[in-house]
Amino acid sequence: MDEFEYILMEDDEEEVEGEDDVKLAEIYKLASRLLTLLEGIKSFELKESASLMLIREIVGDDKVLMGLATKMLQDMSFGFEDDESYVS
């Protein structure tokens, strides 16, 4: 097992206890940290790979999330997210 897999397995053991708002705050904190780390990657190819891995982990097998992620990526790639008159 390489170091990357070991780190992932080690972090999976951590459980967040509490109400949904506490869990949401923890998700936001971790997402912010991940984005900060992602911005620090110099290689465009690695940054792209890491982004796709994150999306895959979040979406999983959920068809609704997959559809939302696909639509969001299409909107972003065509530049529609900045157009206030565009409705997705």
pLDDT digits (tens, 9 = 90+) for 48-77: 999 889 999 999 999 999 999 888 888 878
Q: What is the pLDDT of residue 10?
A: 57
pLDDT digits (tens, 9 = 90+) for 28-48: 999 999 989 999 999 999 999
| Residue 63, SS3 per DSSP | helix
Q: Which of 85, 48, 84 has the alpha carbon at shortest distance from 56?
A: 48
